[in-house]
Structure 1
């Protein structure tokens, strides 16, 4: 039997890098994609250290032409891991709708572009789609309005797609990490002086950032999440929703059992209490 092939997006750092190495270590042929292949140094070094090989391809998930070019020549595909994403902190009154659209382009439409391109190949192989969302795809969080909206959208779309895809032999699932110690956090780019620039929202933002620093003090390592995703590639049955830690499971359970939304509002309201 030929080696199974997985395409993973956003592999230049963090969860994507860790997943690519773990999957290659598990015997998969890995197509490791990223928007800028000049940033592949850390991935190549990690692969060399692990004693595995992988293929790096350029892919901008927001660009249909880039997606088509990346998929050109792939004759077999057994799994896709939609990991590419962009963090964003802000609130509606102080940001443009175009900024919100930009977050949606990466975190929602990017997933659709890649999954749409992959589905014919996955139907042929009886493969699976794994998408890294977030606990923020279940629980809306202060100052993460655009980010959570995009992750909510991805989860809603994929939850709706899953039974349709299953009817043609393709399994669909989402992976929901909580706090992860990766470059994703620093890439959000919120400086401490953002509090001073937040005007009437300054105190709420200050409280939120203080809470976030505490939460990320106990963050999971990217390698731990990557190993879990690699295991899901080979799992006999793929659950639709998988959290990557006990903290993430407890957090999402609060929402999934919260019929009227009061428990979530009480919790997240405490994060910005002045």
Structure 2
């Protein structure tokens, strides 16, 4: 059991950090990756406190050469957890296509780079891919156009890949958290200046920020999401989709049973009015 190896992306904070520690506690050999290993202090401290060890490696999911170099250093891989991602708020009229493309590079193409490089190893071990998406991969949300587009893309890609990968013995799952208390929120960088510069969209953005701040006040702890990811790594028949809280299940459920789209539009329009 101690020879099982999991590679987790984006482990410097939040869900990735908590998952790395939880997986190590469960007996996995954890390859904990991040773009800048100088930011590994919080992870290493958490691992030490938990009495476990993790192997920290550099990996930039937006750089195929970085991904390949990391994978080439592995003798075995039993699971990949695609967790690396970046938040983004904005609306199309006020940002460039390049801004949107950058979001796609991290949150969508980064997932593809890591998964593609891992699949030969995972076929050999009959392993699994777990991709952390979001309820934003199911429900489009105001001022999250680029972010939701990337998460929708990751969801669609993985849903399509799952039956194909299964024929080679590799299981594919997605994990959809709702609000999670992590640095992901602060990294989006919303402040009064952003609202002031939103022009005709300022009232809607101010309403969105107020509503979202309230939602994150009761956010789920990263360790709760991590526990469910580790369960996916270890269960014999992992589900394709895991929603990590009652709030996430209710939110995504509104979309999954909304055949004409009216329920979601009615819901999200209240956020900005």
Alpha carbon RMSD of aligned pairs, Å?
Answer: 0.7
- The CA deviation at 1:2 is 5.5
Question: Taking structure 1 as the reference length, what is the TM-score of the superposition?
Answer: 0.99
Within-5 A mapping of 1:1-274: 3-273=3-273
Q: Which runs of 5+ in 2 are unaligned?
A: none
Q: Which runs of 4+ in 1 moved over 3 A?
A: none
Provide, for residues 31-89 of structure 1, a one-character-per-residue CA deviation record: whole Å limited to 9, x for no partner: 00000000000000000000001100000000011001111221110000000000000
Distance of 1:252 and 1:157 partners within structure 2: 18
Q: Following the alignment from structure 2 to structure 1, what is the Cα–Cα distance between the partners of residues 192 and 222?
A: 25
CA contact (8 A) 2:81 2:132 kept: yes
Count of residue correspondences:
273
Structure 1, unmatched stretches of 5+, are none
Q: Secondary structure at the match of 2:172?
A: strand
> What SS does the aligned partner of 1:181 have?
coil
SS at 1:206 equivalent: helix
